[in-house]
Amino acid sequence: MSPARKTPKKATRKAAPKRRKRVRKAAPRDDGGKGNLKDVALCGIQEVAAEVLEVANKGALPEMTMPQRSLANVTYDRKTGYFELGDHFKTRTLDVNSVKTFAQTLRLMSLAKEMVSGDDFATKREAYYVSKNWGEARFGEQRESDTVLDDIEGMFSIRDVTRETLRFIPEEHGGSVVGPLTVIDRDPETGEEIRSVCESMGSGAYTVPSSVDHLGLESTADFVLAIETGGMFQRLNHHRWWRTFNCILVETGGVPTRATRRFVRRLSIDLKLPVYAFVDCDPYGICNIYRTLKVGSGAAAHVNRRFCVPNAKYLGVTPQDIIDFDLEDATHPLLPVDIKRAKDALKNDPFFKAQPKWKKAIRQMLKMGVRAEQQAFAKWGLNFVLEEYLPAKLKNPRGFLP
Amino acid sequence: MASAQKEISISEFFAKNRHLLGFDNPRKALLTTIKEGVDNSLDACEEGGILPDIGIEIHQLEEDRFRVIVDDNGPGIVQEQMSKIFGKLLYGSKFHSRRQSRGQQGIGISAAGLYGQMTTGKGVVITSKTIKGKAIRLGVQLDFTKNKPLVTGEEELGDWDRKHGTRFEVELEATYQRGLRSVDDYVKQTAVSNPHATLRYLPPNAEEARVYERASKEVPAQPAEIKPHPYGVELGELMKMLRDTNSRWLVGFLQEEFCRVGRKKALEIIELAKLGEKSYPTRIAREEADALYRAIQKTKISAPPTTCLSPIGEKRILEGLQKECDADFFTVSTRPPAVYRGNPFQIEVGIAWGRPGSDRLDVDQEGRITKTRKKRAKVDTEDLLGNADESVRVLRFANRVPLLFQQSGCCFTKAVSATSWRNYGLSQSKGSIPTGSAVILIHMASVWVPFTSEAKEAVASYPEIQKEVKLALQEAGRKLGAHIRREKKVASEFEKRSYIDQYLPHVGIGLQEILGLTAREREEAVDNLKETLETNRKIG
């Protein structure tokens, strides 16, 4: 992009640096003392097992209780701003059908106990392989061990203990981050401070680690832009768009991972930065990616509290954008699965049901019968999106969808 | 041309059309010969109220030549009749009677002799002794053109080893094979349908005879003879009966010539036909006979008496199946007697079902399940019970005689295919015989079995018969289905319990690791859980 083609809007932005940038800082999250949580976790494991033993020796059938993890068991309140777990619980009683799962649950809890006390961790995949040493009780596929892990997490969410605290960490890392942000980490070996300046990552980016609570944050940015696709993120990064608009860019890569959501949440809550989402205009982008980022998901309802970004706003692409930016001929028809997802959201999703603006937008999309990708703006030139579309939208953040 | 016209004897006719009698190939000839001999022997024994002891021997003389001997302990044959029974076609006691028997026409055994004579040039040898008379041995040949026996030798035996009985010996060209539809198969099926008979069977080149011991010591009751039922008589036959009767009044004719017609019924029919009760039967014209015929069809007449039928009986069918099939489950069902064309008949069905090779699960009174490894077959090399992926064996019997050929053309087979076995736990592709390790036995007892040919290989598809067979199959099928469902339930329960044994120790390990239990504490917890789990499970 040649300087000659800079828009007047950008010129005004250029003037901004003259004003002294406000530096926002956040210390590592005081997680109530890591040691404390560790005790809570160990205590919890102990208690669950002790109760099973007691009931068994009394000649009764032991039970394990966990919240039901589904969209049907969440409530949404605009004030709290995220999906809260309802009061439906499922009880797993030890019987012939559940004896295998019951045994596996206890053995995974035993593994958790070992990891918490030994300060080690296991990915879900590793946990699956650990089970291979259990003979008959081994998991056949990782899907099975993931389900049991989710159940354990649900069970312990009642005690405010997350999967990460039980030392089962996700396989996938977080998204990429660039912009005027400094992340302060520590060397796990030496304990020395490491400062990652997200402005000096060259053509690369800072990668959100699987656990983010121990990070210190410093930023002079004005807002955070969460981007669905890696391609769009690279385009904006390549043209140093974050510098022009003084913002932090976060790539979610589809539905954001827990670490990414936690990281964006910290930017939003701890640094008090507005968060805008820029995703495809299709039911998946709206109902899955954006919804999960903002209020969490049904399946992870027990942890949404710690992972949601209630202040996030939806910048685009909106169904109205398709009309306003003349993208009709750059769209694709909605697939049956898209239509089902959209209708399902209107009918069953407590978040969209509580938001009249969203209901209107989704209905509009269904009526138009098309979806548009972020990349669709390339119709008007490769950099139309960063020169025209985003600046135009950013002029009116109040017009963003909630 | 006229001079070329010539009367043909029945013997000549059958000499040229031997396939009609079941002698179409050497393999079938051997079977048919034995079958006719055994049928006659069994009939004779039962008529005499004797528990049958039948001997069957096959001796191979050359590559394609065999000597067949069938002997019995029946009442024996008086000397005057001996040559005719075995040397004259269509000579018999059963054709005109409305009474259930194996033989019907009086063709079979003499046709066997005829076949032997045609292929080897030798006649048959008959030895017979009644309880009073002496044992006589006759050589008999058949005069093709005159349909008359030719006695070739006669001799008195002083020292026959039995008090009464008959022995039939014939040489013939034949082939012996094992497997389905073989003589072995026939003998075995005969043992199933005649559990009151002992069969000694000596196959060619065998060291010693296979003995199928009787499972029952009751001779089946001798079926009574009956008059025709009005429904079973066609117009032509009715007219013939009207002509031949000794009755002088129509009302008397109906009462005397038919069963199940009393005075009241007779008057009802006559009124409906608009005839006079005192009309002379011999003067009834064709139109009037037609009216009478129609009136009979419209009148409600109770089913013919069933004393003329001799079903095998549920107990006997069970005994027969249990004796010859290595199955886990047996069931029988009997239909009440029914009528086709005025001929009473009765259908019986038996099912044997098992899982060959698989283990057996038994539930005791406390609900514990024990597994027993199944012992492998005892009786015979030719097991009736197939594998689970094979078609079910359908054993067809008419008046206790196994029907081995023309399975697909048989009314019984059609009824089996038309029954939906999936409801009863067997797999079945549409419109075919079900699959599974099972034997379905179908028996029809009737005064006159409607065979599709003189070779008596398949039963004709009368709707009444097919319907009864189907109903009997359904009834037995329901019992089978209930058993299979229960068996599946027990099997799944057993599997579930083995689950407990498999995974409960891991619950123990988990608890031990988390709570730091001792090995004894762990064992105790596991034992407690096992106890609780098993007492919580009831088996219905």
Put simply, the answer to whether B510 touches A100 (Cβ < 8 Å) is: no
Token pair belonging to A109? 């809890």
Give the CA distances from residue B58 to residues A344, B172, B401, B513, in Å, rounded to whole numbers and listed in that order.
80, 11, 20, 76
Q: For residue A333, what pLDDT band results from cuts at 50, 70 and 90?
A: very high
**Residue A7 predicted with pLDDT over 60:** no
Q: In Å, how far are B147, B244, B284, B418 from B143, measured between CA atoms? A: 5, 34, 44, 47
Render A175-202 in DSSP notation, one character per residue. Answer: -EEESSEEEEEE-TTT--EEEEETT--T
What average pLDDT does the segment B59-86 reach? 87
DSSP helix, strand, coil percent of chain A (3-state; round to 5): 50, 15, 35
* Partners of residue A74 on adjacent β-strands: A85
Cross-chain residue pair B499–A50, CB shorter than 8 Å: no
Question: Dihedral angle at the C-alpha atoms of A94, A96, A101, A107, nearest 10 degrees?
Answer: 70
Which residues in A lie closer than 8 A to residue B495 (C-beta atoms)?
Answer: none
Cβ–Cβ pairs < 8 A, chains A and B: 87
Alpha-carbon Rg for chain A, nearest whole angstrom, is 23
The partner residues of B539 in beta bridges, in order of sequence, read none
Above 90 in pLDDT, residue A365? Answer: yes
Out of A96, A103, A135, name the one closest to residue B510 (CB): A103
Write down the catalytic residue from A129, A276, A284, A314.
A129
3-state secondary structure of A229: coil
Interface contact A96-B496, CB threshold 8 A: yes
Q: Is the pLDDT assigned to residue B373 strictly greater than 70?
A: no
Q: How confident is the model at residue B383 (pLDDT cuts 50, 70, 90)?
A: low
The closest alpha carbon to A265, from A235, A238, A222, A305, belongs to A305
Parallel, antiparallel or unpaired: strands B65-72 and B165-173: antiparallel
* Contacts A60 to B, Cβ<8 Å: 532
Mean pLDDT, residues B318-343 taken together? 86
Report all structural domains of chain A as residue ranges with CATH numbers, in order of start.
34-169 (1.10.10.10), 172-399 (3.40.1360.10)
According to the model, what pLDDT value does residue A299 have? Answer: 76
For residue B296, is pLDDT > 70?
Answer: yes
By C-alpha distance, which of A156, A110, A163, A164 is closest to A133? A110
Where is A254: in which H helix or E strand? Answer: none
Asked if B497's CB is within 8 angstroms of A94's CB, the reply is no
| Placement of tokens 């005689």 in the chain | B401
Summarize the confidence of residues A172-198 as an average pLDDT.
88
Percentage, residues of chain B above pLDDT 90: 26
Longest distance between any two alpha carbons in chain B, whole Å: 116
Q: What is the pLDDT of residue B374?
A: 59
- Nearest C-alpha neighbor of A249 from the set A269, A266, A235: A235
b/e sequence A251-287, b meaning 16+ C-beta within 10 Å: bbbbbbbbbbbbbbbbbbbbbebbbbbbbbbbbbbbb
Quick one: which of A50, A62, A64, A65 has its CA closest to B533? A62
Q: For B533, which residue in chain A has the nearest alpha carbon?
A: A95
Q: How confident is the model at residue A5 (pLDDT cuts 50, 70, 90)?
A: very low
pLDDT above 70 (res A380): yes
Phi, psi of A231 (to 5 degrees): -65, -50
Give the model's confidence band at A9: pLDDT under 50 very low, under 70 low, under 90 confident, else very high.
very low
Phi, psi of B140 (to 5 degrees): -125, 135
| Separation CA A272–CA B416 (nearest Å) | 80
Ramachandran angles phi, psi of A358, nearest 5°? -70, -40
- Report the residue from B506, B524, B536 with minimal CB separation from A134: B506
What is the token pair recorded at B101?
Answer: 């028997």
A129 noted as active-site residue: yes
Q: Give how far Cα B185 sits from Cα of B19, B177, B189, B209, B384, Å.
A: 21, 10, 6, 15, 9
Average pLDDT for chain B:
84
Mutant choice from A42, A63, A96, A97 vs B, greatest count of B C-beta within 10 A: A96
> Could you give the angle at which helices B411-418 and B463-515 cross, rounded to 10 degrees?
40
Q: In what order do the strands lie in the sheet with A24-26?
A: A24-26, A216-219, A181-186, A193-197
0.95 surpassed by complex ipTM: no
The whole-model pTM stands at: 0.61
